[in-house]
Amino acid sequence: MTLPEVDPVRFEQECSADQDVLAGLAGSGDRPEIVRSVDVSFSGDDAALDRLADEAPMLGFSVLEREEGEDGTISLFLEREQKADAESIRALTLLCLQIELLFDVEYEGWGCMAQAGAGQ
pLDDT tens by residue, 35-68:
999 999 999 999 999 999 999 999 999 999 999 9
Q: What is the DSSP letter of 56?
A: G
**Mean pLDDT of the region 24-36:** 95
CA 88/CA 110 separation, integer angstroms: 12
Helix, strand or coil for residue 28? coil
pLDDT at position 62? 98
pLDDT at 119 over 60: no
pLDDT at position 3? 87
pLDDT at position 118? 59
pLDDT at position 117? 74
The pTM of the full predicted model, rounded to 2 decimals, is 0.93
CA-based nearest residue to 5, from 95, 108, 118, 110: 95
Q: Of residues 19 and 120, which shows the higher confidence score?
A: 19
Whether the CB-CB separation of 49 and 65 falls below 8 Å is answered with no
